Amino acid sequence: MLKPVHAILIALTLTLSLTSALQAANPRQSWVENEIYQYNHQFASQLPQELATKMQKMKASPFAFYRGTAHIFYRDMQTLASSGFVNSSTSAIWLEGDMHMQNLGGMRDSNGNNVFDTTDFDEGYLGPYVWDLRRMAVSILLAAKENGLSSSDAQDIVRNFLDAYLNKMSDFKGTNDELSYRLESSNTSGVVKDLIQQAASKSRSNFLNKYTQINTSGNRVFQTTSELQPVSSSTYSAINTGMIGYIASIPSSKRYNNNYYILKDIRLKLGSGTGSLGKYRYFLLIEGSSLASDDDQILEMKQETSSAVAIAAPNLLPSSVYGNHEGQRVTTATKAMLSNTDPLVGYTTVSGITFMLHEKSPYQEDFDYTLLTTKSKFLDAMAYAGKVVAKNHAISDKDYDTSIVPYSVDKEVTDVVSGNKAAFKNEIVNFALDYATQVEYDYASFVDAYNRNIPLY
């Protein structure tokens, strides 16, 4: 007679464990207005027109809103229950921090490999590995709904993403395979393979022609457009001075001679991204390896502030690791999670503002989630996304720097989920379903505030 009761208790316990990370979604109009205002107001004095663009972009859809509000996600991670699949060794690993589909892309690494990988580490920080998985899972649900897929199909896609992540982590356990692992056209298919091939087909000459021109003196300079704006002489001088610190931030083994970094022109870049709108972003034209104009290179110089992840996990990444310099933090995160990293990655300070610099690559193609028009296309692409996130986490552990992450993350994650994959996937999917609903509530609150001209920055 006790057996049925015992079974009920087990089922109840399992149900509770699966819902432990959940909190019922609810409208929170004034809270959302305040969070958006407080986060964005700090940039209102420097680039208010960029914040206006940000609000317009966020108004497009719940997914666009989600892209622009990582700070809200991590405010919630402060208060929502933690995962049942996190222990001490998996609670402080390198995170990409803003893991969603638009932060993936096709690119060429410094060894000439054309790969599918992560493209943005502005929010790179330490935290529980499930935060990257949760954030990506929510983005999958939002994008799938926007693309017209059913909720059940979207959930299947999330489970497939999680399977790919766990299986790749298990493959990495006990090996060093993660150090050489990459997704290329030879081991991908569908939209991801097309993306890699599109990036590979690009050329430096076409890229330079897009943004620059040869002036009457025969020198290459930037074009001036609505998105590429001239800077004042004082800003030009300050950035030129900041190049000294930038060059010094590059390890001597990767540093070219000083002539390589000679600054030829500068533009303020407007309209790029979503979450970073409102922060300064400059394009810098530098000399490159010769005096010829056809090998000039463009650096992207992005203002960096504290990671949104730090809202939920303050001081988890000691400031000593990154010299209390947010540009150095992003540089370190980039090097930790990418193989064959761009040798032009570095950081500097200009007029008291911290920046990260890297090459604006001619060989990069952004991921376009609107191409995922069927379940099969979505399943295929998000399986590769799962492998990318696994690679990010696995190579940034003790393989990168034991003083930051002293564990083998692939081993620890595999072990903590071992034997409970179904429950793990249920937990993430249930979280994502609930949080996607919360995002839709928050989006509706934002649109209402926007339409009523409530100050949002």
Taking the mean position of all CA atoms in its chain, how far away is CA 74? 14
Q: Report the 10 Å Cβ neighbour count for 125.
A: 26
**Beta sheet of 263-269, edge-to-edge order:** 228-229, 263-269, 281-286, 297-303, 353-359, 346-350
For residues 442 and 69, is the Cβ–Cβ distance under 8 A? yes
**Is 286 in contact with 222 (CB distance < 8 Å)?**
no
Asked whether the CA dihedral 126, 130, 131, 136 is positive or negative, the reply is: positive
Q: What is the rounded distance in angstroms from the CA atom of residue 82 to the CA atom of residue 318? A: 22
Q: Where are the beta strands (DSSP E) in 307-421?
A: 346-350, 353-359, 364-366
Percent of the chain whose pLDDT exceeds 70: 95
Q: How confident is the model at residue 22 (pLDDT cuts 50, 70, 90)?
A: low
What pLDDT score does 147 carry?
A: 98
Three-state SS at 133: helix
Residues 6+ apart with CB under 8 A from 209: none
**Distance set, CA 259 to CA 238, 239, 311, 428 (Å):** 19, 16, 41, 51
Contact 73, 313 (CB under 8 A): no
357, two tokens:
């610099």
- Residue 164 identity (one-letter amino acid): A
User: What does the pLDDT read at residue 19?
Assistant: 38
Question: What length does the chain have?
Answer: 457
Instruction: Judge residue 26's burial from the number of C-beta atoms within 10 Å of its C-beta, 0-12 exposed, 13-18 middle, 19 or more buried.
Output: exposed
Q: What pLDDT, in 10s, does the model give residues 364-395?
A: 999 999 999 999 999 999 999 999 999 999 99
User: Mean pLDDT over all residues of the chain?
Assistant: 94
* Cα–Cα distance list, 423 to 8, 10, 135, 137 (Å): 17, 13, 18, 15
pLDDT, one tens digit per residue, over 122-143 is: 999 999 999 999 999 999 999 9
> Cα-flanking dihedrals φ and ψ of residue 269, to 5°?
-95, 125
| DSSP letter for each residue of 105-118 | EEEE-TTS-EEEEE
Sorted by sequence, the CB contacts under 8 Å of residue 285 that are 6+ apart come out as 212, 220, 221, 222, 263, 264, 265, 266, 296, 297, 298
Q: What confidence tier does 293 reach under pLDDT thresholds 50, 70, 90? A: confident
Is residue 84 predicted with pLDDT exceeding 50?
Answer: yes
pLDDT in tens, 31-56: 999 999 999 999 999 999 999 999 99
A 10 A CB-CB count for 205 gives: 11
Is 394 strand, coil or helix? helix
Q: Is 275 helix (H, G, I), strand (E, B) or coil?
A: coil
Residue 220 has pLDDT above 70, yes or no: yes
Radius of gyration of the chain, Cα coordinates, nearest whole angstrom: 22
Q: What is the pLDDT of residues 311-336, one digit of tens each?
A: 999 999 999 999 999 999 999 999 99
96, 332 Cβ separation under 8 angstroms = no
Q: Which whole number is the average pLDDT over 154-162?
A: 98
Q: Quick one: pLDDT at residue 15?
A: 36
d(Cα 416, Cα 398) in Å, to the nearest integer? 18
Dihedral sign for Cα atoms in the order 190, 193, 195, 198 = negative
Beta bridge partners of 94: 126
pLDDT value at 7 more than 70: no
Q: How confident is the model at residue 23 (pLDDT cuts 50, 70, 90)?
A: low
